[in-house]
Amino acid sequence: MLEGKTAFVTGGSRGIGAAIVRKLAAAGAAVTFTYNSSPDAARAVAEAAGNGAQAVRLDLADADAVAAAVRGLPKLDILVNNAGTFELASVAEATLAAFDRMFAVNVRAVVAAVLEAAKIIPDGGRIITVGSINGEAVPFPGGAFYAGSKGAVRMLTKGWARDLGERGVTVNVVQPGPIDTDLNPADGPFGAVLTGMTALKRYGKPEDVAELVAFLAGPAGGNITGAALITDGGMTA
């Protein structure tokens, strides 16, 4: 369904990002994805995805580098802002440096990518950001900065949907709940508690998020824009 389309995915060497790369490539898209610190993992994802998938090294905390990477793409139909960073700190322990780190990757990099993408993406293109249900609610202490960054992305998405709507470019955010990745494994220290908070009593899989991203990227997602789509097993039900 994405034959002839080109996609750029940030943070594609593991977890949710790797699943998105594989899914988009399987649907026919030519995918370029970024990684930061693991060239071997990135190479393995590119080989597994096939269809000429390519990995490029990029520090998402460097907004100028992000903008240059998007600007340098020969063609772009689908932008997926997936990369993100997470750390917990209560208000008594939080620092401005931690705030800056979180917003540099989770917000500033997204803004840099979208501003450049808007210049080159054709009418009918797709812009998708992977946010979090913490953009809607904060069910645990210490998550203010992370939730703030994801809330910012959610509202930016709605604004950009208005800006680009007349061109038929859709802009959406996918908001996962607990997903079984190496950063937040189902058998990790928070696994039992988070599982218990879901209606389905299970963690999601990276593929659950990738399927939703691919749906939005394809023809069936053409009438969805400015939306925050939740895939959380009913955690926010």
pLDDT digits (tens, 9 = 90+) for 9-34: 999 999 999 999 999 999 999 999 99
Kindly provide the b/e burial profile for residues 193-222, where b requires at least 16 CB atoms within 10 angstroms of the residue's own CB. ebbebbeeeebbebebbbebbbbbbbeebe
151 belongs to a structural domain: yes
Are 23 and 211 a contacting pair, CB within 8 Å?
yes
142 belongs to a structural domain: yes
109 belongs to a structural domain: yes
Axis crossing angle, helix 96-103 with helix 144-164, rounded to the nearest 10: 40
236 belongs to a structural domain: no
Task: Retrieve residue 133's tokens.
Answer: 């249900």
User: What is the residue-averaged pLDDT of the chain?
Assistant: 96
Task: Clarify whether 146 is annotated catalytic.
Answer: yes
Q: Which of 8, 35, 145, 146 is catalytic?
A: 146
1 belongs to a structural domain: no
Are 104 and 61 a contacting pair, CB within 8 Å?
yes
Task: Retrieve residue 30's tokens.
Answer: 């030519």
DSSP designation for 135: G
Are 63 and 10 a contacting pair, CB within 8 Å?
no
170 belongs to a structural domain: yes
Cα–Cα distance for residue pair 142/129, rounded to 1 Å: 23
pLDDT digits (tens, 9 = 90+) for 150-194: 999 999 999 999 999 999 999 999 999 999 998 888 988 889 999
237 belongs to a structural domain: no
Domains held by the chain: number: 1
CATH number at residue 70: 3.40.50.720
Task: Retrieve residue 197's tokens.
Answer: 């908070």
Residue 149: domain span: 6-231
13 belongs to a structural domain: yes
